[in-house]
Amino acid sequence: MLLLPGDLSYADGTQSLWDSFGLLIQSYASSRPWMVTEGNHEREKSHDHQQIEPFIAYRHRWRMPYRESGSTSNLYYSFDVAGAVHVIMLGSYAQFGPHSDQYKWLVSDLSKVDRSVTPWLIVLLHAPWYNTNEAHQGEGEDMRKAMEALLYGGRVDIVFAGHVHAYERFTRIYNNAADSCGPVYITIGDGGNREGLALDFDRSHKSASLSMFREASFGHGQLKIIDRENAHWSWHRNDD
């Protein structure tokens, strides 16, 4: 299946772009499941000073199995893949504080994960919690502070993020330090867009020593689950 951590059509409120994006991908999305979460470009823009539900088009056009996972919002949900992986999709643009519905749902969802049934636990969200690119610095920090301990306690294996138009892979991290029990953090926001690449990385960033690889190129990643203890991640440049 294809996992996409937000910014689908870059419609930015223009409904015809949702339509053309749907036509573009339908041959692929009809043959392989596309599981997505929302990005900032899924937000609707207000017109004539009228308030519009921020993700109304996304919610209606891209219904994900949120009710099936006990969530009250299409902006965050979870599902199992092939009896081996539990995938949690978090909403960077939904409330995430300790008293929020999303936070309470995440606590509940993590408590139900049976690692003897789904030994792999993966999380996707849009705005990265760790990022040495100069683009979108600090935008995921509040969410990290609110939820990182939950993912660490749940022994999440990998956290995928988008938003930054480049590729970056970190070591296992918890609370801004290398930790063998923390998740691997991967920014995979390089799938292509109309804005171009985020070309500049900060070599003196406080997280630079935790960043194992970073490159501003368009591409995609492949995660292959081999067995209960082994998986293989690879990143593929479009230019290759």
Q: Is the pLDDT of residue 46 over 80?
A: no
Catalytic-residue membership of 136 = yes
Looking only at the bridges linking them, the beta strands covering 184-188 and 158-161 are parallel
Tokens describing residue 31: 């043959």
- Whole-structure pTM over 0.75, yes or no? yes
Q: Is the pLDDT of residue 52 over 90?
A: no
Q: Is the pLDDT of residue 81 over 80?
A: yes
40 vs 197: CA distance, rounded Å? 17
H or E segment to which residue 179 belongs = none
Query: Which of 26-30, 124-128, 177-181 is least confident?
Result: 26-30
According to the model, what pLDDT value does residue 192 have? 87
Mean pLDDT value across the chain = 95
Q: Taking the CB of residue 34, how many other CB atoms lie within 10 A of it?
A: 15
Quick check: 214 and 169 in contact, CB under 8 A? yes
pLDDT, one tens digit per residue, over 166-198 is 999 999 999 999 999 999 999 999 998 889 999
Q: Is the pLDDT of residue 63 over 90?
A: yes
Q: Kindly name the residue from 136, 165, 232, 236 that is annotated as catalytic.
A: 136
57 vs 61: CA distance, rounded Å? 6
